[in-house]
Structure 1
């Protein structure tokens, strides 16, 4: 049975006030001489959010409760706009078609996955972008812009780009893209503990979300 995913964004006004925790996994072993051996268990990372910090009113609170009911608690994933990381360029920049290299042509490959390079040197990894925001994606081949919808088709549920006949990247041509994107996310618990009176008195509830990896 395919995993449930509701292709709707978590309320944007609340998501931009969320707190973010980035998780990485490494193994650290201490030797008898005091030196260390460190190995990465995860090449990438996983993000956790607490949207309780984004609540500004009782209307926001009811909006989250309604969304929780809609997605069935932990059952279904959904789109979440990470307040710290949601575009292909620098945080204060504007996405362009040459932001992220997503592949190199070989005459026959027609499908390319949207990715975003993260980190530098030995820690560099390719973050898979599976939930691009429709209408924000631009694509270039060898620096020349391609038209979404005719030259290349976008699947907003997977982040796949499918080049059409006559526009398939040739050998050694660099394929790049720029975009805004959402992070596939789910609620981290099957329950919400919220007291409206406490909230109106200034007590912020914890409402944890977690990034879906895969």
Structure 2
């Protein structure tokens, strides 16, 4: 899958709309009861970046970025300003053997818990702690979100992480349909992005 680690311009993403989307089929029986079938165990984010464009300079920046990604063809990083941090997130427990741990973010609502795998942490934002004490004895794969320790954390050591993260996305269109509003300026109603899922 074609993907570049380049981040979409933050000055445009800041004005975008969107967020997580699930897929649920609802079947209504003859007496009005519902049967809900969950198709996806994890959400897939969608965004519309058209509302973030506020100047001709941003228009040109967007067009250049779109050409470089060849429409839907090449994925890229995107900052979701509504959800881009994890603080003191537990990512594992040591067992004297395992050295690789995946960054995650857990969403908890009373007894319900949803685990989100984080594949695109932001450079120079990751901090790792063992039993609450910060450690430097690890490396970060910023393309996969994996943390690799130089030696296995000791048994029962609680491993936590604080970090910022991006969402891997692609354009969900091969066509930029611009409206020419005035001489030298144009706008869009919809420029969709969709999250890219990695196996």
Is the structural similarity TM-score above 0.5?
yes
Q: Distance between the aligned counterparts of 1:128 and 1:8, measured in 2?
A: 20
Deviation at 1:203, TM superposition (A): 4.9
The counterpart of 2:9, out of the listed 1, 11, 23, is: 11
Partner SS, residue 135 of structure 1? coil
2:119 equivalent in structure 1: 130
Deviation at 1:197, TM superposition (A): 3.3
Partner SS, residue 197 of structure 1? strand
Alignment RMSD (CA, Å): 2.0
Deviation at 1:11, TM superposition (A): 0.4
The counterpart of 1:115, out of the listed 67, 88, 104, is: 104
Moved more, 43-52 or 18-27: 18-27
Runs of at least 5 residues in structure 1 that lack an aligned partner in the other structure? 90-98
User: Does structure 1 residue 153 correspond to structure 2 residue 153?
Assistant: no
1:85 equivalent in structure 2: 83
TM-score where L is the length of structure 2: 0.91
Deviation at 1:83, TM superposition (A): 1.7
1:89-126 Cα deviation digits (max 9, x unpaired) = 4xxxxxxxxx2111111111100010000243564221
TM-score where L is the length of structure 1: 0.85
1:141 equivalent in structure 2: 130
Q: Distance between the aligned counterparts of 1:173 and 1:113, measured in 2?
A: 16
Aligned residue-pair number = 198
> Compared with structure 1, are the counterparts of its residues 47 and 133 closer, same or farther at alpha carbon in structure 2 (3 Å cutoff)?
same
User: Does structure 1 residue 172 correspond to structure 2 residue 161?
Assistant: no
Partner SS, residue 133 of structure 1? coil
1:182 equivalent in structure 2: 166
Partner SS, residue 124 of structure 1? strand
Contact 1:58–1:196 (Cα < 8 Å) also in 2: no
Q: Distance between the aligned counterparts of 1:18 and 1:114, measured in 2?
A: 26
Partner SS, residue 68 of structure 2? helix
1:76 equivalent in structure 2: 74
Deviation at 1:142, TM superposition (A): 1.4
Moved more, 74-83 or 198-207: 198-207
Higher strand residue share: 2
Q: Distance between the aligned counterparts of 2:81 and 2:75, measured in 1?
A: 18
Contact 1:117–1:125 (Cα < 8 Å) also in 2: yes
Deviation at 1:51, TM superposition (A): 0.6
1:52 equivalent in structure 2: 50
